[in-house]
Structure 1
Amino acid sequence: MIQQYIDLPTLKYLLYNVHGLSNVLKLDRYKEHDLESLGLFLDSVKEFSDRELFPYFREMDESPAAFKDGEVIVHEQVGVMMKKGGEMGLICGPLDYEIGGLQLPFIVHTAATYILDTANNHLPGYLTLTLGAAELIIHFGNTALKDTYIPNMLSGKWGGTMCLTEPDAGSSLSDITTKAIPDKDGYYKIKGQKIFISGGDYPYAENIVHLVLARIEGAPAGTKGISLFVVPKNRMEDGELVNNDVVTLSDFKKMGQRGFATTHLGFGDKNNCRGWLLGEAHHGLKYMFQMMNDARIGVGRGAAAITMAAYQASLEYARERTQGRKLRSSGKKNPNESPCLIIEHPDVRRMLLLQKTIAEGSLSLILLAAKYHDLQLAENDIALTKKYGLLLEMITPIVKTYPSEAGAIAVSNGLQVLGGYGFCTDYILQQYYRDIRIFSIYEGTTGIQSQDLLGRKVLMAHGKGLELLLNEILETITEALTMENLAPYAKILGDKISLTQEVTAHLMPIAKEGDYERYLADANLFMEFLSHLVLGWVWLDIAARAQQNMLEKNKTYSTNFYESKIHSMKFYFKYELVKTNALAESLMHKDVLTLNTGKDYF
């Protein structure tokens, strides 16, 4: 029997009932699809995951990716993932029919990839990075580049990566030094090194197509001088693949996600590495950020999936493990009673409910972002396209950060449910705990995401993005106020909107004065504050849908299922949403304590 690693009914409930997949399918772009066929697609992904992903999850951790004799060695299931991923449409899924895609709604493709992530988070990255690289070539490449690379990438025959980080630049992309020297034959000679390249090398793809940020000789300093190049591991010459002077220097040894190769690559050590300019010169960072925005949703999705899988594992343990006895009204335990299941203890239930609310809330948040992506792409109304584009921009930093940070807390609580066993390798929780830690670092750390949220997204379009987001929240509040049992919680969330406006009113003058270092000094607190507001909204929306379904006597799910969603909302409001008060107090506090004033406090 396969251990439970996902709550598929909840995934489908959020997809169909909460986020209204049927309404997305009314858009012209997706009219060829229907709910039944998409449901079968998700079921097939689950069956594939049961068979080819989850059974190898622990094995990939125990026999991690390695670097030996100049080659990267990975588990053979990487080959299965690439081959079957291509065959099942898991790489090409959201792309246009004209280029070999299935034109799936991104929300459905996100749900499918989430299933893969819950089963084995070490494997789907090989697919999603290939898709991301292919998308950039499709959007910005010329016909020759598309014809050369896209068919083989979408089939899973060739892999793909993005190469940003360098040994001496880290997250400061303006400082990259990889060079691109133009050649008279139309290509560029690439020379430099890139580190932390996920899926950067492995033997189960005939070729790996790297998208490399580099600086053309003579380009201006800073981010404005960065261009993007297609740099394959093996280049095509006279119909044959030949070595392109891309060398794997090492594979990083990691505490988690050990089955996902993370390489250090060298380009042009023999001065024979060729790259082809993608799009226009000096626009590379702008192009790469299109891939990175989707990748940030993917990071949130992966973290949400690990949180769900860890919750399922700790829930299963709590339902089987007996220990201790329940307290009676006298405040004493009866030593003659048999031990009870630990799920009967209030503190264990608190930890499980915390996991549940973070796992399911994160999943709903991820699907919301994917829906905004679909609506932005497929709406014919220009005003609506702009609206959903702004909403997507606004929530993307939260979508990446909340599941990663709160998810780590949730998994930690899951490990605690197991007590001492949680710390032992006999049980799977310790692996989830190690695996999830990287997600708050992937694609820009929490600090970077927080500065993006407060420094760019809150200020963009003169605050229009935040205004639209608060209006979306107000719509849910207005609906919930009509439901007697939800009205008190709707009022609480309404008060949090007022608190948000108070916080931003305090911060905006600091930004207008040009004191950006002070303005952004507590950006991470603002990220946490706004994340709690958004998740409060997510949970109120789930509860409102559940309440409506019960009123309509919708028997697709049990009454207990619907009531569990409302109960989870109440838990989130009591234990998590209240944290906004303390965060607001810190954000508006008169003391500024983290700026460097020249005094050494360390």
Structure 2
Amino acid sequence: MPVYKAPVEDTLFVLKDVLGIEKFNNLPGFADATGDMVDAIVGEAAKLAEEVLFPVNLSGDQEGCTRHDDGSVTTPKGFKEAYQTYREGGWIGLSVPEEFGGQGLPYVLHTAVGEYMSSANMALTMYPGLTSGAIAAILVHGSDEQKSTYLPKMVEGTWTGTMNLTEPHCGTDLGMLRTKAAPQPDGSYKISGQKIFISAGEHDMSENIIHLVLARIEGAPEGTKGISLFIVPKFILNADGTPGTRNGVSCGAIEHKMGIHGNATCVLNYDEATGYLIGAENKGLAAMFVMMNEARLGVGLQGLAISETAYQNAANYARERIQGRALTGPKAPDKKADPIIVHADIRRALLQMRAINEAGRAFSLYSALQSDIAHRSADPAERQKADDILSIMTPVLKGVMTDRGFENAVAAQQVYGGHGYIEEHGMSQYVRDARIAMIYEGANGVQAMDLVGRKLAANGGRAVMAVFKEIGDFCEENRADERLAPFTKALKKGLNDLQAATMWFMQNAMAKPDNAGAGATDYMHLFGLVIQGYMWGRTVKAVHALQDAGDSRTEFLANKLVTARFFMERLMPETALRKARIETGCDTVMALDAAAF
């Protein structure tokens, strides 16, 4: 049976020692996040994940969701009770403004505990996760009346939320969507059409479901310029704000999918359902992007979360499974064989997972901190810089961490050998669950093209230059530190490769756009390696400071240095490979006729 223990010590180390969140006490909500408060929140989140969500993860995967003849959906046994415990703890509103029932704490804390929830039970955590995304969109684009009507119930988790984008004929290309919105005399709209792949689209865990639906108002322009966003509740509200009559939205089917079986991924049919415009007419895509961007950060976190729990199980198995002898002689002479963790290749696999996970945790929390600064700082220049960095980090975090998360889940399964292919050990579920994160909220190839095609050139390259400067300044400021030199030198080399690849795109992609497409995925991963290397550089600096101060966590800190060295020696050199691939251009990629494939 699989196991999971939340990495509390590592999370607190990143928050306090690497990122130094106490330095941001001038931002709203941060003053309340005292050291003791952070310890308590992270500790309680760990208990919830380990003791409430994780125990129904494997059974939820095996049972899945059930659609009934009346279109209702039942979630797996134990999910409803686990969700109620989650809801009652106030976790959905952790970083939501207090005026709507939230706690107003930093988003970086929401991200920290979100990792644990997804590690413990990704399918279940998606229900409140989508609700958080819907809350974010309504907060930014909803009217005062919409905020007061919907947010308090969503924040307390009594009502949940969804996002409805995809249709059978259009996924990435939302300009093709056909769902219609017919204006009504009372200011509402009648929504008609079909949406597919709607996570948490129908279930039995909340009193109402607030769907955010993209549709085209009659007479609107074609393409993305004619898309509007609507609030469509499962139950139309009575005058007193309570759920009333059933709206014209129903679950036509539950998708038969590879993983996340405990989440109801639905086909939703809209038959003149009553909807309410959110934001301006024909500006729906911009409004939905608030939710989509939050969702992309959350999906990147899912990649880390599954990678972490898969790693933990592989490490446990490697310590216990005896098979073969160490190349340097028996390590367990009293047994018939040694534990497989003595084998260098097993250690290589485990260290690679660990190095990516620990850098990825810092990367995720660093990005969440940028969101806090962008939304809470009183300094316009500080807000702009943070928003720029977050903008360019979002596709990198989503694409890199989900690609790596899936690779690590497969690597963890490989450590088990044949037992990893057997369902009862749980590794199959992690591989299957991790796979969707590479696809939804914008497939990773789309994320790579968004990075290269839009984010690099935005505002004259302001965002990417801010990132380059921050990393370059870190290397320069610590150049005289001999202990840090092995790490800063490797980081600087990776940064040089990233800057050279960026310049190559500038010189070769404008006249020949397929050069950008052919190199986009390599560029995204090159960018990700440099950011993770930067996280390791900051980590090592924090470790040295703690060691110099006589910190008692001697083993924890020593292990950090070994893992950092592994990353710099074994993974960071990949930047040169990625750069070389990019610079080959698109000629061979585009050479074959389509019929030759």
TM-score range for the pair, normalised by the shorter chain length: over 0.9
Cα deviation 1:53-105 (Å, max 9, x = unaligned): 11111100110112231222212433234433332221111111122210110
Q: Establish whether residue 141 from structure 1 lines up as the match of residue 138 from structure 2.
A: no
1:304-344 residue CA offsets vs partner (Å, 9 max, x unmatched): 01110111111111111222112238xx9999974222111
Q: Does 1:546 align with 2:549?
A: no
Match of 2:422 among 424, 427, 430: 424
What is the identity, as a one-letter code, of the residue corresponding to 2:266?
A: T
Q: Once structures 1 and 2 are overlaid, which stretch shifts more, 197-206 or 591-600? A: 591-600
Aligned equivalent of 1:473: 471
Please state if 1:569 is matched with 2:570. Answer: no
**Which of residues 480, 483, 502 in structure 1 aligns to 2:481?**
483
Q: CA offsets per residue over residues 358-393 of structure 1, 9 Å max, x none?
A: 111111111011010111112111111100110000
Matched, 1:63 2:63: yes
Structure 1 residues 308 and 231, CA, compared in 2 at 3 Å: closer, same or farther?
same
Moved more, 475-484 or 127-136: 475-484
1:600 aligns with 2:595: yes
Deviation string for 1:111-170 (max 9, x for gaps)?
Answer: 111111111111111111112112222322223322322222111111100000001112
Whether the 8 Å CA contact 1:96–1:103 is kept in 2: the answer is yes
Structure 2 counterpart of 1:266, which letter? N
Q: Report the equivalent of 1:93.
A: 94
How far apart are residue 177 of structure 1 and its match?
A: 0.6
Equivalent residue, structure 2, for 1:160: 161
Instruction: Select 2:263's aligned residue among 260, 263, 280.
Output: 260
Opposite residue 130 of structure 2, the aligned amino acid is L
Matched, 1:242 2:245: yes
Deviations 1:158-186 (A, max 9, x none): 11000000011121111111000101111
Q: Is the 8 A contact 1:324 1:339 kept in 2?
A: yes
Q: Residues of 1 paired with 2:101 and 2:222: CA distance?
A: 39
Amino acid at match of 2:171: G
Q: Which one of 564, 567, 573 corresponds to residue 578 of structure 1?
A: 573
Residue-by-residue CA offset, 1:201-221 (whole Å, 9 max, x unaligned): 001211101000000011111
What is residue 393 of structure 2 aligned with on the other side? Answer: 395
| Contact 1:232-1:244 at 8 Å conserved across structures | yes
Helix, strand or coil at the partner of 1:426: helix
Q: How many pairs does the alignment contain?
A: 594
Cα separation, 1, equivalents of 2:585 and 2:146: 56
Q: Distance in 2 between matches of 1:164 and 1:202?
A: 19
Q: Judge conservation of contact 1:313–1:428 (CA < 8 Å) in 2.
A: no
**Conserved? CA contact 1:5–1:118, under 8 Å:** no
- The offset of 1:595, in angstroms, is 2.9
Which residue of 1 is the match for residue 308 of structure 2? 308
Kept in 1, the 8 Å contact 2:108–2:368? The answer is yes
My pick for the range that moved more, 132-141 or 576-585, is: 132-141
Residue equivalent to 2:492: 494
Q: Distance in 2 between matches of 1:135 and 1:465?
A: 23
TM-score by length of 1: 0.95
Q: How many angstroms apart in 2 are the aligned matches of 1:591 and 1:512?
A: 13
TM-score (norm 2): 0.95
Per mean C-alpha deviation after superposition, the further-off stretch among 237-246 and 11-20 is 237-246
Partner of 1:124: 125
Residues 1:590 and 1:264: Cα distance change in structure 2 (over 3 Å): closer
Distance 1:184 1:596 in 2: 56
CA distance in 2, matches of 1:237, 1:6: 42
| Mapped partners of 1:598, 1:206: distance in 2 | 54
Q: Secondary structure at the match of 1:121?
A: helix
The match for 1:16 is: 16
How far apart, CA to CA, are the structure 1 residues paired with 2:238 and 2:333? 79
Change (3 A) 1:102 1:599: closer
Amino acid at match of 1:256: G
Say which SS state the counterpart of residue 80 (structure 1) adopts: helix
Q: Is the 8 A contact 2:518 2:586 kept in 1?
A: no
Tell me the distance in 2 between the aligned counterparts of 1:422 and 1:356. Answer: 19
Q: Compute the displacement of 1:519 (Å).
A: 2.5
Q: CA deviation at 1:591?
A: 5.4
- Distance in 2 (CA, whole Å) between partners of 1:59 and 1:207 is 26
Q: C-alpha separation between the residues in 2 aligned to 1:590 and 1:251?
A: 42
**Structure 1 residues 488 and 30 mapped into 2: Cα distance closer, same or farther (>3 Å)?**
closer
Q: Which residue of 2 aligns with 1:217?
A: 218
Cross-structure match for 2:458: 460
Identity score, percent: 34
> What's 2:407 paired with?
409
What does residue 44 of structure 1 align with?
44
The aligned residue for residue 287 of structure 2 is 287
Secondary structure of 1:215's match? strand
Counterpart mapping for 1:194-209 below 5 A: 194-209=195-210
Q: Which amino acid aligns with 1:537?
A: Y
For structure 1, the residue ranges without an aligned partner over 5 or more in a row are: none
**CA distance, structure 1, for counterparts of residue 483 and residue 129 of structure 2:** 42
Distance verdict in 2 for CA 1:599–1:161, change over 3 Å: closer
Question: 1:186 aligns to what?
Answer: 187
The alignment partner of 1:522 has SS state of: helix
Unmatched runs of 5 consecutive residues or more in structure 2 = none
User: Could you tell me how far apart the structure 2 residues matched to 1:153 and 1:27 are?
Assistant: 25
In the alignment, what sits opposite 2:35? 35
What's the counterpart of residue 518 of structure 1? 515
* Alignment RMSD (CA, Å): 2.0
User: Hey, what's the Cα distance between the residues in 1 that align with 2:190 and 2:427?
Assistant: 47
How far has the Cα of 1:486 moved from its partner? 2.5
Residues 5 and 308 of structure 1 are in contact (CA less than 8 Å); yes or no, is this contact kept in structure 2? Answer: no
Name the SS of the counterpart of 2:551 in structure 1: coil
Mapping for residues 497-508 of structure 1, pairs under 5 Å = 497-508=495-506
**For 2:426 and 2:335, how far apart are their aligned partners in 1?**
31
3-state SS, counterpart of residue 521 of structure 1: helix
Return the alpha-carbon distance in structure 2 between the equivalents of residues 49 and 233 of structure 1: 29
Runs of 4+ in structure 1 deviating by more than 6 angstroms, as ranges, are 332-337
Q: Tell me, in whole angstroms, the C-alpha distance in 1 between the residues paired with 2:74 and 2:178.
A: 29
| Residue matched to 2:103 | 102
Cα distance in 2 for residues equivalent to 1:415 and 1:98: 46
2:412–2:427 CA contact under 8 A, matched in 1: yes
CA distance in 2, matches of 1:230, 1:257: 26
Q: Secondary structure at the match of 1:30?
A: coil
> Do the aligned partners of 2:200 and 2:264 also contact (CA within 8 Å) in 1?
yes
* Residues 218-233 of structure 1: pairs in structure 2 closer than 5 A: 218-233=219-234
